[in-house]
Amino acid sequence: MDGVAILETEVRELIRRRGLDPVRDHQGIRDLVSDVVADYDERSLLGTVPPLSDASAAMKAVVDAVAGLGPLQKYLEDDEIEEIWINAPAQVFVARRGEPELTTTILTSGQVRDLVEQMLKVSGRRLDLSSPFVDASLPGGERLHVVIPDVTRQHWAVNIRKYVVRANHLDDLVALGSLTPHAAAFLDAAVAVGLNVLVAGSTQAGKTTMLNALAGSIPARERIVTCEEVFELRIMHRDVVALQCRQPSLEGTGEIPLRRLVKEALRMRPSRILIGEVREAEALDMLVALNAGVPGMCTIHANSAREALTKICTLPLLAGENVSDRFVVPTVAAAIDLVLHLEVDSRGRRRVREIVGVPGRAEGGIVETADLFHLDAGVLVRGEGYPPHPDRFAGAGIDLPALLRGER
């Protein structure tokens, strides 16, 4: 057994004896490891244990093993890496600047299971044969998704999605090149006056980041309630309540779906409702909330702004046979004001592809749209359309024509 393995064994035993929590008491663990390494160095001088070639490296390895994610910790700490996934113990991949690569890290099946168990400790979520999928948030804000056999063929499939860029305001996205100053100024004003925004795009297009940045334009006096499958939004606001779904217990009871959260949010005196992502029948509850006079924003998977509107007109139909498109389509036209579509280009850069307005009219089952901004030769430029509710901009003292011309 090498020095690092001996140190790890001794530290784990001391953690067990002292009742320390490696996840919550990180500084206490570091102090403990430092003391154990110092003691180990003294013993190595007497020849009772093998000497350490690099004491600081050994200390980091032990801290990573007992309080971090062991061999995966270095990928979590690398700001260029956006996601980590494990297809098999010997196949650990990362996405670096949008490009996937196979790493040299090789784990054992036991290590993969131990890592997942460690990550799930804080979340309170479970993973077993009766519930072979799990979605959870890690303490650092990363999102964990795991699938186990026999849903997978042989090995545990693990995805850890990081949030490398934390954009708290639209200006942060301008600095990253995802948005032009002109479009950012318009969106800032649109959110401030209470327009309802639908953020669309593919997986990893930056929808959650955009929603977080848009929330930065909500006036400080307003109260925000967020509803998510798993906590992902990190909204910097003085009055915000975050809600997340809950899985059913072993007895199959206690589940709290997203539909329930949206209904409960309306009882919490919200000025704004933010929904992390709509995938199913909760789209109906969102539309009902928006039509109740509570402004809101949410994200949805779609390939374009038009497809996002089509999808948001279809999802409410999953709520039951008594819900028809004759109700949903005009409701969508009245409830949604703006649709932003995001994309990831060939170089892994995230950017806004188009911004469309929804004037509030629908004909023949199709919601009318207005082109506000679109990509032209790779640049987001002003379209010919006009946004809805100009009276709200005027009421807030905003010169909308000047704003659309790019005059601030």
CATH of the domain at 77: 3.30.450.90
N- to C-terminal Cα separation, the chain: 67
Q: At 35, is the secondary structure helix, strand, or coil? A: helix
Residues 45 and 84 in one domain: no
Sheet arrangement for strand 240-244: 240-244, 224-228, 272-275, 296-301, 197-201, 338-344, 350-357, 370-376, 379-382
Last residue of a domain, one of 16, 43, 67: 67
Coil, helix or strand at residue 85 = strand
Is the CA virtual torsion 299, 303, 305, 306 positive or negative?
Answer: negative
Domain stops at, among 67, 98, 122: 67
Same domain, 184 and 237: yes
Residues 196 and 94 in one domain: no
How far apart (Å, rounded) are the C-alpha atoms in residues 230 and 141?
10
Distance CA 367, CA 311 (A): 11
> Same domain, yes or no, for 188 and 335?
yes
> What span, in angstroms and rounded, lies between the C-alpha atoms of 377 and 394?
33
Total structural domains within the chain = 3
Around Cβ 364, how many Cβ atoms within 10 Å? 5
Determine the Cα–Cα distance for residues 179 and 210; give it in Å rounded to an integer. 10
Strand order in the sheet with 133-137: 99-102, 91-96, 81-88, 157-161, 143-147, 133-137
pLDDT at 40 (0 to 100): 87
Q: Say if residue 151 is in the same domain as residue 217.
A: no
Residues 6 or more apart whose CB falls under 8 angstroms from that of 241 comprise 223, 224, 225, 226, 268
Report how far residue 274's alpha carbon sits from residue 313's, in angstroms, rounded to the nearest whole number. 19
> Which of these three, 161, 185, 205, is where a domain ends?
161
User: Does residue 77 sit in the same domain as residue 62?
Assistant: no
Q: What CA–CA distance (Å, rounded) separates 211 from 90?
A: 36
Length of the chain measured in residues: 408
Residue 40 CA: distances (Å) to CA of 5, 34, 43, 70, 262: 12, 10, 5, 21, 55
The token duo for 235 is 């909204």
User: What pLDDT, on a 0 to 100 scale, did the predictor assign at position 232?
Assistant: 87
Domain range enclosing 363: 170-404
Are 144 and 184 within one domain? Answer: no
State whether residue 125 is helix, strand or coil: coil
Identify the pLDDT of residue 137.
Answer: 83
Give per-10-residue mean pLDDT for the chain (408 aa): 82 87 82 89 86 87 85 90 94 89 94 90 78 84 90 94 80 93 97 97 90 96 94 91 86 86 93 94 92 92 96 93 90 96 84 95 92 93 95 95 87
Query: Does 119 share its domain with 178?
Result: no
- Does residue 106 share a domain with residue 207? no
Distance, in Å, from the CA atom of 405 to the CA atom of 408, rounded to the nearest integer, reads 9
Q: Are 156 and 148 in contact (CB under 8 A)?
A: yes
Contact at 8 Å (CB) between 76 and 69? yes
CATH of the domain at 398: 3.40.50.300
Taking phi first (over 0 means left), then psi (-120 to 50 degrees means alpha), and beta for anything else, what does residue 199 get?
A: beta
Q: What's the pLDDT score for residue 408?
A: 63
Whether 214 and 196 have beta carbons less than 8 Å apart is answered as no
Let me know whether 381 and 264 are in one domain.
yes
Q: How far, in Å, CA of 350 to CA of 82, rounded?
A: 12
pLDDT for the residue 15: 87
CB-based contacts of 357: which residues, under 8 Å, 6+ apart?
Answer: 337, 338, 369, 370, 372, 385, 386, 387, 388
Residues paired with 84 in a beta bridge: 94, 160
- One domain, residues 316 and 220: yes
Quote the CA–CA distance of 272 and 290 in Å, as a whole number. 9
Instruction: Note whether 227 and 348 are same-domain residues.
Output: yes
Element (H, E) at 227: strand 224-228
